[in-house]
Structure 1
């Protein structure tokens, strides 16, 4: 017969330690919830769509012309433009066999920061095909980015659809093809958006580390750091918060290390900037001069029609950025306004505008603002999808066929 001991004291579990509570909270933040799974499902569906478009491009626009009997390889549509710079850096480094800016026909590869090429080289150790490695980086990074974007949107917009709607607007945006290409946009967002999310939670060490990595991928990371610093100043309360201020110096290590590397090999601390000037006319011009030069390229019939159309898109993207900056200032979203203002200043003070449509992918306040507008006025969503969807396909085909797409 069983023996009962009714008077035996019952053991009371000890309360969890503060460290365990923090770990549990972090686990809840990282673990995907139902809303996150919906966002990932939407992300996968749009990846299927863009890769279907790339597959069709192989057959409709083969490299050998209309008389070609065989399409290009599966990944050939993605090997366009800047991809070759990243590939050559990953394969050979920045100054192979002593070549450099002093060499005739130099490709100015030092204009590209090392974050993406280093990641590409690391992934290539596992994935033998270079283009497949680049696509895998963007696929994984894009998934991380949309999860972080959805969480930022849910913190800002009091609506159950906020996260999914914001991610939808990003993934259907006109230049969304670059989130799937072996380019820097997806990787940068995968670092910058979690950094911003960490700052919203006042986790400044995590924000600083992620921002440092973002600075190694794109120069836009410096504008992110400025916005994070402003957010810190606005949010800091008391000595306990200000003790985290030294972390904000950490992101400066990435550009400083790259500048030191270039100086050691070229003797030029500004080698990155000078490469931008030589290869992409990114020397300083007054904003009105940059607008005038871009307007002439777009409408004065001085450029082939395909390029002229892209410069028209550059002008529209600049106007959209200015409108967004005004909106952010009116809403007193000062850190986001600073991030956008610095971005527009950098892009709007070259000889002419270059890559502003692509840069809209990095303007997360834009997609949150559009989502909020559409939640108040449902017709906005319909209009956006009807206009942005075809434009997204058009830009994708333009890029995947080797034409300039911003």
Structure 2
């Protein structure tokens, strides 16, 4: 494993104190790593009974490569990286209309990138912090109250503790954000798309292949890797659809209503939907906030600036954001007001570009709205593939 450049931060730490982090996914674990490196006493609380396993693989590319190198995790990520996948765009007769070839990683180059199983990345990041921070599973924050020199936190187990700073790293539906900033609906921006995701532990297609089938406003995607297959359905809607979040049969019916009668492999895939007991279904949205901090509380990752799955940057954004926060705190020592302002001003242009790309490019690529848009997408991708 590489030498950890975090030593620079470790020796620069001045503030010390206690830090509370809500959420133990990528944002929470990355923030825990950097806060411990800065010299803070770190407590992480996670409402789930353990790490939240499952879900699609995570892309590590661009700025994220440099961050995980600084954290000393790049070698471990390289060892666990999935083989590159080619992408095939299918029509109803299973004919490939366009293809993007697999791109092997080029070490130590500007184009170096990896895809890693979400569970493997969680294990790597958890291993980097679990011996040095307190992680309390099955625990959530019920109340936060700022004092003259810190924040008091009340927990679901009845305990109360005081902290110097608090970081909300608890995802798109962040409870920290609700406790500190209030009404969630003001910052959740619906992107006009609903998605269903199920990971099955067997091969439905060849490994190291992604297949995508689209009709106007609707897309189905299969990702084959290891001995798993991701099944994703997505459909556009010009309005938000009311449904009961705990009613899985109602959510399955929404998918059936949208996709029954279509070709390709959809009849068989709808059988997988019918059999699914554990899956993800939700609207795609972005979190857009005028500020990511209030007082001594700051948000990191999806809680503050979710770009949506259409960006393909959720895990990377969390890792980048945690490092940006740590760098700001290093520069400003115990002046958290200046540090949080620096964090916001420095990272916001990058966040806004990623969010805009998700709206203008990601949605167009994943779920074109018309037959002409589908044909244009396939033509553009074919041209891009020919140029490589």
TM norm structure 2: 0.25
Which protein is richer in helix relative to its size? 1
TM norm structure 1: 0.24
